[in-house]
Chain A
């Protein structure tokens, strides 16, 4: 009965009425160059409505936590030593979804132009005009992504970043939450001009509930290395969209680490538009339902529209105590995208019988000379390996932790920088150690 009640509530909230309510709840920002994009996004959202459980791409993940008028409260997590703290990088801070200049570094980085959407958005002429809402709009087909449209229509803040050389230091967007009831909507536009390179780090919890959109446009030969440890606050709810378009020989590597969080939906929409481009999207997730509800959903769409390109999707989830993991991943190879090398793997390690993993891998191929493969597995801890470790004196809990790290290794290997990868592993070890007891 309770389940039916929830479904009924979800239905009542979804659809065009919910879209109207959301548009009304978020004030329209003063729009300069973004005006047209915002108006179009608003129109798209009105047509699509906000999703309910009945929508095909929301069957596994109930969007209800994103649809309530107010976000459920989430206590901000005090982190003693934030991840990547010791690394040399340019830090830009958002607190509860608003840029905090005082807490940020001076946004001066050679070859990198940084502006706030909240300030630059009022201007009529801006380089980001060709990007803001453009990749998001293109990413609405074949599957509607209404929360991203809402974001384009209403996001008041975010960063507009243009890179024209090799960024000398990583750029770090640091999200912080101070208000247990805060709600954030941020929209970033990032353009790497031909040959440009940058490492982009996103860390922390943006708000109790956050809707984050990032549009990434990579020019010919540009390289973006994106690393995103999502905030560990137990109650946080987030939907994020990464829209990326790759020019010829461009290279995108995106890795997301998720530990904790009541609700996470990360969508990645990758448009491989130039020949010989490479796009890797990876994620490592640790979910413990004992800390509260845990739902983690990766929904990925990779579209190959050029010759000789490579894509990888590597997603690993470790779930316990009733945690739920979802993976929906698609590789689309368009006509003429010959010599495509597409690969997708999603795996879950269930540490008990209460947790579940739901996977929907899809391949759609319209070219005949391609190499595409996908796989999905759900399994438990390997008893033979567990015994081997314990026979050497390692406690059962420690042995499980080592096997969890072993399981996640392929996803972590997608982080190119060894020092950043080591820091991620250290955080995983800390998380696991806290739960060994």
Chain B
């Protein structure tokens, strides 16, 4: 599904190298977690994969089901099945959540040569998905993320994911700023989407989220590279001993 080979990335505006040869492969149906200290390049990886401006790929490749992600515009990546749940979802005053979601879904369907979803069907689709995430009708009517609490914003990200049904989901610190109950809701939403055809890359600082979203593989990232890969037990090790021991061990 997602294949990243020797990915090297610098900031476009300055000579600062952030990713220094990153290799990662996520198979369909698998949940991978990436942990790592601040500044290791985790969020940059998610932005580069989603196509945000401001980064320059100097070496390496990233493909989704064989298609070259790095050659595509952000919206083409989305239509190809990539989804990034933002660490800080953006507020868009004056644009209703439903309008936004429907525009997004139909733009993707159009790009894939599928028929657009009509207003009635769409409403039913969103209501069903929203119910599971305890998102009420009022929240759907409000402008995108405006006045939403931290938990509501993250639930809204998961709702978008549920409606758009991407094949490869990247969650960038989705647990940050969430209380225990909100984290459980978000995790339940993610778990409901787990299936054999869908890959997940969960970026997090803490093991806590991984209690709820059980990863198949855990990677430790430091200084722009994956430095260690293991099973769920690796996350427990981080939780117990911090990153220092692991980094010392691989250095």
**A residues whose Cβ falls under 8 Å from a Cβ of B:** 383-385, 387-396, 398-399, 402-403, 405-410, 412
Contact = CB atoms under 8 A, between A and B. Distances in A.
Contact of B92 (A383, A398, A402): A402
A385 B51 CA distance: 13
Nearest to B111: A393
Nearest to A413: B94
Interface residues of B, number: 30
A299 B190 CA distance: 53
- Ordered nearest first, which 4 A-B pairs have the shortest CB separation? A409-B94, A393-B78, A393-B108, A392-B104
B95 A387 contact: no
Interface string B78-122: 110001101001101111000110011101100100000000000
Nearest to B101: A392
Contact of A406 (B75, B83, B93): B93
A387 B93 contact: no
Is chain A's interface secondary structure helix, strand, loop, or mixed overall?
helix
B53 interface: yes
Interface of B: 50-53, 73-75, 77-79, 83-84, 86, 89-90, 92-95, 99-100, 103-105, 107-108, 111, 143, 160, 164
Nearest to B77: A391
Given A387-B52, A393-B164, A408 B94 contact: yes
B164 A392 contact: yes
Given A387-B52, A387-B53, A394 B94 contact: no
A409 B103 contact: no
Contacts of A385: 90, 92
B93 A409 contact: yes
A395 B75 CA distance: 6
B51 A390 contact: yes
B160 A392 contact: yes
6 contacts: A388-B90, A391-B51, A392-B100, A393-B105, A393-B107, A409-B143
Nearest to B90: A388
A394 B164 CA distance: 12
Contacts of B105: 393
B62 to A, nearest CB: 15
A397 to B, nearest CB: 10
Given A383-B53, A395-B107, A389 B94 contact: no
A391 B103 contact: no
A410 B93 CA distance: 9
Contacts of A392: 75, 78, 83, 100, 104, 108, 160, 164
B73 A390 contact: yes
Contacts of B74: 387, 390-391
Nearest to B91: A385
B94 A396 contact: no
Given A393-B75, A394-B75, A396-B73, A405 B107 contact: no
Contacts of B77: 391
A393 B79 contact: yes
A402 B100 contact: yes
Nearest to A429: B99
Given A383-B53, A393-B78, A398-B103, A388 B89 contact: yes
A393 B103 CA distance: 9
Given A391-B74, A391-B78, A393-B107, A406 B95 contact: yes
Contact of B94 (A391, A393, A395, A405): A405
Contacts of B92: 385, 388-389, 402-403, 406
B83, B89, B104, B108 pick with most chain A CB within 10 angstroms: B104
Contacts of A394: 75, 100, 103-104, 107
A410 B94 contact: yes
Nearest to A408: B94
Contacts of B99: 402
Contact of B75 (A390, A407, A408, A412): A390
A409 B89 CA distance: 20
Contact of A390 (B78, B86, B100, B160): B78
A391 to B, nearest CB: 5
A402 B52 contact: no
B234 to A, nearest CB: 29
Nearest to A409: B94
A393 B161 CA distance: 12
A408 B92 CA distance: 12
A164 to B, nearest CB: 38
A95 B50 CA distance: 54
B103, B108, B160 pick with most chain A CB within 10 angstroms: B103
Contacts of A387: 50-53, 74
A408 B95 CA distance: 10
Contact of B90 (A384, A393, A396, A412): A384
Nearest to B94: A409
